[in-house]
Amino acid sequence: MAEIRVRHHQGGFTLDIACSLDTQWTVIFGPSGAGKSTLLRILAGLITPQSGRISIDGEPLLDTDAKLSLPAGRRGIGFLTQQPALFPHLTAAENVAFGIRHFPLESRRRRIAEMLRFFGADALADRKPAQLSGGERQRVALARALAPNPKLLLLDEPLAALDDASAHDILARLLQLPTRIVYVSHDVAEIWPLPAAVVVLENGLVTATGPLQQVLAPQRDRLLQLLRG
């Protein structure tokens, strides 16, 4: 279980969050500018909030009272956005290897092959990012983020820039993972089938939590009405 209580003020915007993530999939839902990406960056350790406490399974990652903030690389958290951010000078396999350099050589090779295969990217191992399509890059980026076996995978609208076929295929593969996933989106249609809990953010505040289909039913009905004209 992840316990989150953070308060962060930046440029006229205040994020004030207190919530628990106790399901395998949690969707952070809300309009643009609600603070979803900021929350993920705080969880990942890329932003240190002014005050707060974050723990996963009782292990503190951040405790501003105790002046504790584990660096991003020691939190055991994978993070992926719309932009795959693959290292352009490395091949797909080298990208996946980047975070598991400490593995013994043989298990590193096995892990690279396993992760690329899992995301249907095993044929791309020797290609550099410039030789990959958007969907292929995202598959390699997911393989890279998951290779170190993170405790938590943060996905910030990872499928937003992909075509429907790629997005569905990647989502289906993600659903097979045992990893805990926090998934940010503002697209009800995309997240509706997910077996997830939802945390709704508006203007930096949590306005609702609970089972996704239950909490977001009004938004879905409104969307359907709009589609029907």
Give the range of 26-34, 68-76, 183-191, 203-211 binding another protein by CB under 8 A. 68-76
Letters for 156-195 (x = contact with another protein by CB under 8 A, - = none) are ----------------------------------------
Q: Which of 81, 138, 166, 185 binds another protein (CB under 8 A)?
A: 81
CA neighbor of 4 nearest in space, from 179, 217, 154? 154
13 forms part of the interface with another protein (CB under 8 A): no
The nearer residue to another protein, 67 or 102, going by C-beta atoms, is 102
Q: Which of 70, 85, 160, 208 binds another protein (CB under 8 A)?
A: 85
Give the number of residues written for the chain.
Answer: 229
Letters for 88-107 (x = contact with another protein by CB under 8 A, - = none) are xx--------xx--x-----
Cβ 111 to another protein, closest distance in Å?
A: 13
Is 124 exposed, middle or buried (CB count within 10 Å of its CB: 0-12, 13-18, 19+)?
buried
Token pair recorded at residue 17:
């969050």
For the CA atoms of 182, 165, 146, 210, the dihedral, rounded to the nearest 10 degrees, stands at: 20
Q: What are the phi and psi torsion angles at 156 (to 5°)?
A: -100, 95
The Cα–Cα gap between 196 and 211 comes to 6
Q: Which of 12, 58, 71, 218 binds another protein (CB under 8 A)?
A: 71
Q: Which of 139, 144, 153, 174 binds another protein (CB under 8 A)?
A: 144
Q: Which of 15, 34, 39, 44 binds another protein (CB under 8 A)?
A: 44
Question: How far is residue 134 from each of residues 51, 87, 224, measured CA to CA in Å?
Answer: 37, 14, 29
Question: How far is residue 8 from each of residues 40, 41, 84, 220, measured CA to CA in Å?
Answer: 12, 12, 26, 31
The nearer residue to another protein, 88 or 178, going by C-beta atoms, is 88
Please give the residue ranges that form the binding site for another protein (CB under 8 A). Answer: 44-46, 71-74, 77-79, 81, 83, 85, 87-89, 98-99, 102, 144-145, 148
